Amino acid sequence: MRRYLPLILISVFLLVFLLAGGTYLAGYANKFNQENQNAITVYTTLPVEQASALAKTYEQKSNIPVNIVILSTSDLLKRLELERDKPQADIVLADRTTLDQVKKLHVLAAYNSEQTDLIPQRFRDATNLWTGLWYDPIVFAVNLDYLKNTSPVPSKWTDLANGKSRLAITDFLASDVSANILYALVSARGEKETLNYFKKIHSQIVQYAKFIATPVRMAGMGEADIGIAPLSEATKYLDDDFPVRIIYPQDGSPYLLTGAGLIQGALHNREARQFLEWLLTDPAQIALLKSKYHVVPTNPATHMYKSFAGKKIVLLEKKNLGDAREHQLLDKWVQTVRLNMK
């Protein structure tokens, strides 16, 4: 009997260990499942750095996991259409153009609250299917040495067409953000006047850049006098001590609006609503700032908006021109301006 005693003891020990371990793992699994029952899934076209910063900050504040799925606009639309009858996401976070395309799929749920009602109507869908969160206006990033020897300071689009300033702008074919400048100016001034304007400044443009940040870098390095770019890119270089000054065009800034909409029939509708409303608060803006993304909040009640020096800038609205019309405008710009053909 003694010879079997060690084996019996080992068997008893293993049995106790397995029972205790099983109980622990079952408890952990239940806890894990409970935590993930409230997890929010967000489909977004935002850059991963921005989306991740928002998700991480919100998780720390709410203890609700946020699953970020980065998609191109076309992939996002395809996925939402495929999942129409069984939604896998709770919220869409994207630019206005993408949200308007999502709206046409009839997968968004109307939502309004005291918080969203604070947002100016120009930044909201008329039927409350999405709410604008922040916007990124186009600005002039002006080289400081150039400013010292220039009077008056260029403060309007017409001031750029002086025949002397070296300009840098991102090619409209290379970036939707840059192409939005063309569409917004056409919406405000008409096709003929806008194309004539770009013809006029064509000889002053030292580079049609491939990337949206390049015009600001060129202005900061003295390779151009004025870089035309979004505020978010200009402030990055300003924070890195590049010698540029940001000027908001007095006659209007085209802008990119980012917003969010709730998915109809989503599993975590309550948590998604809470996340959407959090995106309208100062902590969300601070999270974006920490990721070096400077934008203007749409919520006028936030401290970030109240302290923003450019909050009273004039914004140029882009009309809903439609894909065919936008492609037509791009073709005309390429033929008559970029290739300088009459």
Name the token pair of 335.
Answer: 């033929």
Q: Specify the pLDDT at position 29.
A: 36
Cα angle 21, 25, 28; round to 5: 140
Can you tell me the distance from the alpha carbon of 314 to that of 20, in angstroms, rounded to the nearest whole number?
67
Provide the token pair at 227: 């870089």
Q: Which residue shows structure tokens 């203007």?
A: 296
- H helix or E strand, kind and range, residue 42: strand 40-44
Structure tokens at 96: 């206005």
In the prediction, which pLDDT does 152 show? 86
How many angstroms separate the CA atoms of 268 and 293, rounded?
A: 28
- CA–CA separation, 154 and 163 (whole Å): 13
Mean pLDDT by 10 residues, the chain (342 residues): 48 44 39 58 95 96 95 96 95 96 96 94 96 97 93 91 93 94 95 96 95 96 96 92 94 96 92 96 95 93 86 86 90 91 54
Q: Which pLDDT score is estimated for 341?
A: 54
Asked if omega into 152 is within 30° of 0 (cis), the reply is yes
Task: Please give the single-letter amino acid code of residue 274.
Answer: Q
**Whole-Å CA distances, 279 to 58, 99, 132:** 9, 16, 10
Query: Could you tell me the pTM of the whole model?
Result: 0.86
What is the predicted pLDDT for the residue at 12? 42
Q: What angle do CA 117, 123, 128 make, to 5 degrees?
A: 55
In the chain, the domains with their CATH numbers are 39-135+255-310 (3.40.190.10), 136-254+317-338 (3.40.190.10)
Output DSSP code: residue 318. Answer: P
Given this model, what pLDDT does residue 15 score? 46
| Nearest alpha-carbon partner for 186 in 334, 335, 325, 339 | 325
